[in-house]
């Protein structure tokens, strides 16, 4: 299934994308796509619904983030060796973990704010993994059982805040709109191999990122198992698994976002985003 949330920000409704690309209204079956409603039992119930029995949503509504109010947005840094090289950093001996504030989450076509005082706002297309079952001390072999599905994440970063303002990376990662998510939560049964997904990103029509999840250093089962040693992963939590090379920081000379720029990005099978930058 391709599940989504549509409507004005803060008043989204749950929907399902049918095989013809129509949005179908799911609100008579589930109140919203939240940590409480993307569990295995609910997803199985939704999968049994005939999409043609659901009302079609007309007029191309705004699409919101595909999960409402996730408890955690956990990010993995430097998880592609060629991205670590372009950033001038060594491949980490263990996964680098940081968080983005959940207040940074927005929809896949919303405007992205360039923060006040920002000079190095950057992009990062990533595979997002959405947890569907509580995970604590999970083995790699069992890790995939804890996934609800996958989504596109753009881990937008203000590099000056991230690198030069001391402390943790979260300063450069958590401005409002710095975590566009969606358009869809694609359930795991539709993705045969999360480690074989092309992902890409363009700015103003120029392709900067063009990679594949097959070149991840730490792959999805390992990441779930590893994270579950340090924190309990709950339904609705999202893991953003790192980005391939081609970020603005790695260009020669570096290229950074400014008001008016348009980012287009996507992951095969998970949909695409189109985001216009504005000043905060």
17 located within any domain: no
Query: What pTM was estimated for this model as a whole?
Result: 0.96
127 located within any domain: yes
Q: What is the Cα 77 distance to its own chain's centre?
A: 14
Tokens describing residue 128: 């997002």
Q: At 272, is the pLDDT very low, low, confident or very high (cuts 50, 70, 90)? A: very high
50 located within any domain: no
Check residue 167 and give its pLDDT: 77
37 located within any domain: no
Check residue 92 and give its pLDDT: 86
53 located within any domain: no
Q: How many domains does the chain have?
A: 1
* Cα 20 to Cα 17: distance, rounded to the nearest angstrom: 8
Average pLDDT (252-270) is 97
7 located within any domain: no
Check residue 144 and give its pLDDT: 98
* Cα 153 to Cα 239: distance, rounded to the nearest angstrom: 9
Tokens describing residue 165: 């303002």
Contact 129, 138 (CB under 8 A): no
| Residues 6+ away with beta carbon under 8 Å from 242 | 75, 76, 77, 78, 79, 80, 83, 126, 216, 217, 218
* Cα 185 to Cα 150: distance, rounded to the nearest angstrom: 6
Is it the case that residue 73 has pLDDT exceeding 80?
Answer: yes
The boundaries of the domain holding residue 157 are 65-279
69 located within any domain: yes
Note the pLDDT tens digit of each residue in 78-137. Answer: 899 877 777 777 788 999 999 999 999 999 999 999 999 999 999 999 999 999 999 999
Least confident of 17-21, 31-35, 61-65, 165-169: 165-169
Contact 80, 245 (CB under 8 A): yes
Average pLDDT (180-197) is 97
Q: At 171, is the pLDDT very low, low, confident or very high (cuts 50, 70, 90)? A: very high
265 located within any domain: yes
Which CATH number belongs to the domain containing residue 171 in this structure? 3.90.850.10
Note the pLDDT tens digit of each residue in 1-47. Answer: 999 999 999 999 999 999 999 999 999 999 999 999 999 999 999 99
Check residue 166 and give its pLDDT: 79
Q: At 244, is the pLDDT very low, low, confident or very high (cuts 50, 70, 90)? A: very high
């Amino acid at each position: 299934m391709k599940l989504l949330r549509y409507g004005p920000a803060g008043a989204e409704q749950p929907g399902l994308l049918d095989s013809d690309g129509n949005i179908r209204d799911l609100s008579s079956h589930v109140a919203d796509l939240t940590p409480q409603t993307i569990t295995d039992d609910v997803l199985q119930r939704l999968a049994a619904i005939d999409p043609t029995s659901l009302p079609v949503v007309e007029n191309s509504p705004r699409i919101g983030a595909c999960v409402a109010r996730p408890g955690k947005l956990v990010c993995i840094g430097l998880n592609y060796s060629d991205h670590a090289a372009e950033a001038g950093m060594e491949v980490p001996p263990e996964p680098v973990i940081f968080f983005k504030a959940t207040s940074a989450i927005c929809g896949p076509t919303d405007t992205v704010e360039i923060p006040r005082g920002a000079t190095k706002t950057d992009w990062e297309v990533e595979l997002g993994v959405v947890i569907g079952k509580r995970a604590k001390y999970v083995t790699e072999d069992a890790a995939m059982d804890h996934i609800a599905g996958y989504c596109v994440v753009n881990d937008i970063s203000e590099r000056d805040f991230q690198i030069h303002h001391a402390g943790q990376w979260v300063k450069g990662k958590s401005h409002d709109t710095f975590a566009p998510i969606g358009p869809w939560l694609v359930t795991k049964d539709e993705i045969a191999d999360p480690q074989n997904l092309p992902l890409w990103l363009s700015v103003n029509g120029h392709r900067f990122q063009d990679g594949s999840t097959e070149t991840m250093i730490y792959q999805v089962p390992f990441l779930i198992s590893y994270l579950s040693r340090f924190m309990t992963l709950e339904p609705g939590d999202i893991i953003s698994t790192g980005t391939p090379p081609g970020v603005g920081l790695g260009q020669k000379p570096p290229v950074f976002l400014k008001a008016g720029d348009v980012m287009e990005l996507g992951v095969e099978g998970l949909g695409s985003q189109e985001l216009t930058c504005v000043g905060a």
